[in-house]
């Protein structure tokens, strides 16, 4: 894609709801610095469209509070219908904001998301990370199983993806420094 500048590294963060994708992305960004790195979200253009369309509060939808949960199922269904026509539609829209050498994508949920970034930027720039946390820990962070959300493609498509560059257990808050160091090593790896 000619109009999208190419970053040096794109870090794709994946994992179940409340495993800590946004938490670790934010902490990694602090560590790397905003001159070097940025976070993008594939869900951002989806939420922007949804907020405009339904007259909702975009920053609440983008946050980690309960507000977004009210609309999550509808947004999944609507965005899946659009992906049927073009699997890269939301990834492409999210990438228009890339302007740093290191790009952290904090909400990778589908094999087609990984495929989009590999095809668009070349596999050598891509690092794939799976973040894991037990159901008990995720529940402590506010997760509750919901049919139509936790048992559909957006949550499960990458469960059997076997090619992660790094798998992290984000169970306990006291190990965050170790997780961030591993992520930084992966980003700096040639």
Ligand X SMILES: Nc1ncnc2c1ncn2[C@@H]1O[C@H](COP(=O)(O)OP(=O)(O)OP(=O)(O)O)[C@@H](O)[C@H]1O
Binding-site positions for ATP read 16-22, 141
Residues that bind ligand X (rule: CB under 6 A) add up to a total of 13
**Span interacting with ligand X, options 10-18, 32-40, 44-52, 119-127, rule CB under 6 A:** 10-18
**Which residues does residue 92 pair with via DSSP β-bridges, in sequence order?**
none
CB atoms within 10 A of CB 136: 9
Question: Which pair of structure tokens corresponds to residue 100?
Answer: 């740093």
Asked if 41 touches ligand X (CB under 6 A), the answer is: no
When asked if residue 170 is in the footprint of ligand X (CB under 6 A), the reply is yes
Among 11, 12, 23, 32, binds ligand X (CB under 6 A): 23
**Residues 6+ positions from 62 with CB-CB distance below 8 Å:** 41, 43, 44, 47, 68
Please identify, using beta-carbon distances, which residue of 18 and 127 lies nearer to ligand X: 18
154 lies in the site for ligand X, by CB under 6 A: no
Q: Which residue from 9, 10, 12, 19 is in contact with ligand X, where contact means CB under 6 A?
A: 19
Q: Cβ closer to ligand X: 22 or 36?
A: 22
Q: Is residue 190 within the footprint of ligand X (CB under 6 A)?
A: no
In the complex, least distance from residue 23 CB atom to ligand X, rounded to whole angstroms? 3
Task: Using CB under 6 A, list all residues that contact ligand X.
Answer: 15, 17-23, 64, 141, 170, 173, 176
């Amino acid at each position: 894609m000619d109009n999208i500048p190419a970053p040096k590294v794109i870090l794709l963060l994946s994992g179940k709801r409340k495993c800590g994708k946004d938490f670790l992305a934010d902490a990694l960004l602090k560590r790397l610095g905003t001159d070097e790195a940025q976070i993008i979200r594939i869900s951002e253009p989806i939420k922007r469209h949804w907020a405009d369309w339904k007259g909702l509060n975009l920053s609440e939808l983008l946050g980690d509070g309960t507000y977004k949960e009210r609309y999550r199922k509808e947004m999944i269904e609507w965005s899946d219908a659009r992906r049927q026509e073009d699997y890269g539609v939301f990834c492409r829209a999210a990438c228009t904001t890339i302007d740093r050498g290191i790009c952290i994508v904090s909400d990778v949920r589908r094999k087609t998301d990984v495929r989009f970034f590999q095809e668009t930027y070349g596999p050598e720039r891509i690092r794939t990370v799976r973040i894991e946390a037990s159901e008990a820990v995720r529940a402590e962070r506010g997760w509750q199983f919901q049919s139509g959300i936790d048992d559909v493609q957006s949550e499960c498509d990458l469960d059997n993806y076997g090619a992660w560059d790094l798998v992290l257990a984000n169970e306990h808050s006291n190990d965050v420094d170790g997780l961030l160091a591993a992520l930084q090593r992966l980003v700096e790896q040639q």
